[in-house]
Structure 1
Amino acid sequence: MAAKSFDLIVIGAGPGGYVAAIRGAQLGLSVAIVEREHLGGICLNWGCIPTKALLRSSEVFHLMQRASEFGLKADNIGYDLEAVVKRSRKVAGQLSGGIGHLMKKNKVSVFMGAATLAGKGKVSVKSKDGEETLTAKNIVLATGARARNLPGLEADGKRVWMYKDALQPPHMPKKLLVIGSGAIGIEFASFYNTLGADTTVVEVMDRILPVEDEEISKFAKKQFEKQGMKIMQKAVVKQLDRADDKVIAHIETGGKVTKHEFDTVISAVGIVGNVEDLGLEDLGVKIDRTHVVTDEYCRTGVEGLYAIGDIAGAPWLAHKASHEGVMVAELIAGQHTHPVKPESIAGCTYCHPQVASVGYTEAKAKELGFDVKVGRFPFIGNGKAIALGEPEGMIKTVFDAKTGELLGAHMVGAEVTELIQGYVVGRQLETTEEDLMNTVFPHPTLSEMMHESVLDAYGRVIHM
């Protein structure tokens, strides 16, 4: 059978791959996309989207418990975990189906199967119906990543879970251990803790949410502890002794190992790139710690072969993958394009309270040699936050004292994952403190705190 020929083949249909395929098709390229599991990838099916649906349920449950504060009555408050999960799966299913529709609409040929690079410009696709060969001058790798399994801490789906198990729990944890306090670990800890699980988080670094600004990490930790979470920092889980109904965790802190009993463990200790069985080594693609090495334009060094999203390294975020997908499609179509700057990508964590940031932390800015001006503003000084019943939070901004450039913004509190985009746009437009000070922010909104934080950096804060 003759090989099917395209201008562009994309391997992987997550938020990087499917977006690259759509943009390529918009620019007049003939495009094929190969996916071995689900359109939409981990993000839509087992990551960003279903977790947000779960967290929304726990947020509403939390508010129901506070009903009397708002002058409302709610009796016999409870939840049905099965129904919560069912809603989350329905949301994921709706979006995954939408990707299929977008592929059809943009005339992208979809091949469901496992792809291997069979040589330069050649992709072999194995599906349940057999094997076929596709050819293209340009190939984009968007195979994503999977959860890291540490030896001895491997998931079994019963008492020790990975994110997939935590999204479809076989039981409601009573006493939960979460290993790792990055975005995934903290979101699951927040969800189950809000639903009443006695939750402990273990973090190997000296603070939780280690990629965030130190002040934000400390503030978030205080809030989590107020909600009853136990947090162990500079701690390592050495081993797990498993029984049918419990797990004994051996946790080392300060050189001393103690044993703790849990009924459920969630492992969230990072990710590894899906680089296996693709035929990358034979083509001479460089791989560093399970990630494909690329230049700033996502080129692998092998002519016509690109890598985007999680497989191409940090930050491991869906929106970074999508943006790279657009950039690479435009590059292939001969358009002028700009590389994606990691420091202009916002990070969002949907725990309670939410955490969001963009650019450099205060410590990183200083380390890079900047003379900085730092502003802060607390939620307690904002009318809308008080009216919402969400007075716990803060916004922090970091400026270059010499030029007024916004180097970084860091937030913790209600809806900060939506607010952060204001600073993202500001950085993209190369705004200075003067532009931000002269901008009129609507009242009453949470966004006014973004204004006040800038004013505070320059000794002009009004409401504090």
Structure 2
Amino acid sequence: MAENYDVIIIGSGPGGYVTAIRSAQLGLKTAIVEREHLGGICLNWGCIPTKALLRSAEVMDYASHAKSYGLKLEGSVSADVKAVVDRSRGVSARLNGGVGFLMKKNKVDVIWGEAKLTGKGKISVGKPTKKPMEPQHPAPKGTKGEGEYTARHIIVATGARPRALPGIEPDGKLIWTYFEAMVPKELPKKLIVMGSGAIGIEFASFYNSMGCDVTVVELMPTVMPVEDAEISAFARKRLEKHGLKIHTDAKVTKVEKGSNSVRATIEMKGGKTETIEADRLISAVGVQGNIEDLGLEDTGVKTDRGCIVIDGYGRTNVDGIYAIGDVAGPPMLAHKAEHEGVICVEKIAGVPGVHPIEKDKIPGCTYCHPQVASVGLTEAKAKDSGYDVRVGRFQFGANGKAIALGEDQGLIKTIFDKKTGQLLGAHMVGAEVTELIQGFVVAMNLETTEEELMHTVFPHPTLSEMMKESVLDAYGRVLNA
């Protein structure tokens, strides 16, 4: 006889496991199904281990110019790639174990295997199938296994995987996805990165800091195309000064493989072509939802462009089936998945006052060097939306803390509705901006205007002071520039 639950979540990434915890907190009998590793891609092969790699790169950068801080290092600074990778994997392993502890603590059953929807409120869990690029993970102790399970509510949180372009499919050896890029056995001397979104530019930045000759090829006119044009241009200059070669309005049209190298044909704007030889190529041209082999077609769940179609509460067109996170469409961010899952399960439980997620208030962060962070509308989108805007800017070079840190290259930009004073967007590039952006996210959620921000006392000396200065600049009241 099938074991019954109130809620079953398929996938234990950030969206899935956070949803499971909130579901259990609300008194619902909850289970989560996982086929590979607790914590999903983000914890094991994405957000967390990449930040560990980038931290090593950051320390490498500091060590390489220690003299500018008045320090002497004996001998040259070099990277031990195995030790760098081992540290990154160790960070992931520690957090992976933490997710298992949280499931046990919150009395969430973990079912190990591959789930498939088989009817209303029904799933069948079979033996996990091994993915080509990953090791097979054994079932953790204390998990349930293959069999039939039922639930009144089934939430699909299966995430996404790297997108592959026809003719330039990753092979695990010469053409990498983020899986291989995260665990190199040796550093390539020359590297091509195809795509300059968050994944592509972070790996480009990491390998550049590790001493590799890196070329980035981006189809759009700007790097990090979703960012404000001014911030993108500023970041590009800093990345190029750091040694990156960047081609925008360009695409890789062909890749020829050698025994241990690749030869890529790059088509520039206007039709001109260039050939670049490199040891490896990273394909970072986006991700696509994991919607296959879930039984969605048999149950009639609607999909669109590789993602499951949902409303503001995670509900699909089929009663009792929900979706959250990357599999439910952009923005494909871990923190969006977590919040989306909480909203979904609180709506299921009948928690009063639950409202749909506001996607224009979800921050985005890119952990390259320099860091980039943003929330809300870009200047161009604000104008296109019909707003008459005020724009404020403040340079890191006018901030005492930034100068003391030796990080005086950066920019904070704020965009306001001239009529109401509403904060429409905030965009940053520079040191630690991924930690600063939350201040503007809170402000936007509280519907803060310029008046409240200008009357807020920011501590001195901090980088955060620049946030207020940017607001003041939008209204002709900047004090330190």
If the length of structure 2 is used for normalisation, what is the TM-score? Answer: 0.95
1:11-60 Cα distance to aligned partner (Å, 9 max, x none)? 00000000110000000000010011100000000000000000000000
1:137 matched to 2:136? The reply is: no
Residue 259 of structure 1, aligned match among 267, 275, 283:
275
Residue 457 of structure 2, aligned match among 440, 446, 450:
440
Q: How does 1:424-435 map to 2 (within 5 A)?
A: 424-435=441-452
Of stretches 356-365 and 128-137 in structure 1, the one that deviates more from structure 2 is 128-137
Aligned to 1:313: 329
Q: 2:186 aligns to what SS in structure 1?
A: coil
For 1:226 and 1:155, locate their aligned partners in 2 and report how far apart those are by CA, in whole Å: 30
Aligned to 1:152: 167
Aligned to 2:139: none
Residue 286 of structure 2, aligned match among 266, 270, 294:
270
Of stretches 71-80 and 30-39 in structure 1, the one that deviates more from structure 2 is 71-80
Does the CA contact (< 8 Å) of 2:371 and 2:431 recur in 1?
A: yes
For 1:272 and 1:360, locate their aligned partners in 2 and report how far apart those are by CA, in whole Å: 25
Q: 2:339 aligns to what SS in structure 1?
A: helix
For 1:257 and 1:392, locate their aligned partners in 2 and report how far apart those are by CA, in whole Å: 34
Q: 2:273 aligns to what SS in structure 1?
A: strand
1:393-438 Cα distance to aligned partner (Å, 9 max, x none)? 0000000001100000000000000000000000011100000000
1:279 matched to 2:278? The reply is: no
1:33 matched to 2:32? The reply is: yes
Partner AA of 1:325 in structure 2: G
Q: How does 1:104-119 map to 2 (within 5 A)?
A: 104-119=104-119
Does the CA contact (< 8 Å) of 2:252 and 2:264 recur in 1?
A: yes
CA shift, 1:260, in A, is 1.2
For 2:443 and 2:148, locate their aligned partners in 1 and report how far apart those are by CA, in whole Å: 46
Does the CA contact (< 8 Å) of 1:436 and 1:454 recur in 2?
A: yes
CA shift, 1:127, in A, is 2.5
Aligned to 1:164: 179
Aligned to 2:431: 414
1:362-412 Cα distance to aligned partner (Å, 9 max, x none)? 000111111100000000000000000000000000000011000000000
1:314-349 Cα distance to aligned partner (Å, 9 max, x none)? 000000000011111111111121111111100000
Partner AA of 1:169 in structure 2: P
Aligned to 2:237: 222
Aligned to 2:340: 324
Aligned to 2:219: 204
Partner AA of 2:311 in structure 1: D
1:138-178 Cα distance to aligned partner (Å, 9 max, x none)? 01000000000111111122221110000001320111100
For 1:130 and 1:405, locate their aligned partners in 2 and report how far apart those are by CA, in whole Å: 52
Partner AA of 1:419 in structure 2: L
1:183 matched to 2:198? The reply is: yes
Partner AA of 2:384 in structure 1: E
Aligned to 1:300: 316
Does the CA contact (< 8 Å) of 2:82 and 2:185 recur in 1?
A: no
Partner AA of 1:283 in structure 2: T
- Structure 1: gaps (5+ residues): none
Aligned to 1:49: 48
Q: 1:57 aligns to what SS in structure 2?
A: helix
1:455 matched to 2:454? The reply is: no
1:281-338 Cα distance to aligned partner (Å, 9 max, x none)? 1111111110001111111011111100000100000000000111111111111211
CA shift, 1:130, in A, is 7.2
Partner AA of 1:171 in structure 2: E
Q: 1:149 aligns to what SS in structure 2?
A: coil
1:391 matched to 2:408? The reply is: yes
Counting matched residue pairs gives: 463
Does the CA contact (< 8 Å) of 1:158 and 1:170 recur in 2?
A: no
Residue 333 of structure 1, aligned match among 349, 361, 366:
349
Aligned to 2:132: none
Does the CA contact (< 8 Å) of 2:112 and 2:146 recur in 1?
A: no
Partner AA of 1:279 in structure 2: G
Q: 1:115 aligns to what SS in structure 2?
A: strand
For 1:70 and 1:281, locate their aligned partners in 2 and report how far apart those are by CA, in whole Å: 61
1:352 matched to 2:351? The reply is: no
Q: 2:14 aligns to what SS in structure 1?
A: coil
CA shift, 1:75, in A, is 2.3
For 1:62 and 1:388, locate their aligned partners in 2 and report how far apart those are by CA, in whole Å: 13
If the length of structure 1 is used for normalisation, what is the TM-score? Answer: 0.99
Q: 1:16 aligns to what SS in structure 2?
A: helix
Does the CA contact (< 8 Å) of 1:250 and 1:258 recur in 2?
A: yes
Partner AA of 2:292 in structure 1: E
For 2:466 and 2:222, locate their aligned partners in 1 and report how far apart those are by CA, in whole Å: 26
Q: CA RMSD in A?
A: 0.9
Partner AA of 1:114 in structure 2: E
Partner AA of 2:186 in structure 1: H
Of stretches 252-261 and 193-202 in structure 1, the one that deviates more from structure 2 is 252-261
For 1:112 and 1:131, locate their aligned partners in 2 and report how far apart those are by CA, in whole Å: 7
Aligned to 2:68: 69
Of stretches 178-187 and 275-284 in structure 1, the one that deviates more from structure 2 is 275-284
For 1:260 and 1:199, locate their aligned partners in 2 and report how far apart those are by CA, in whole Å: 11
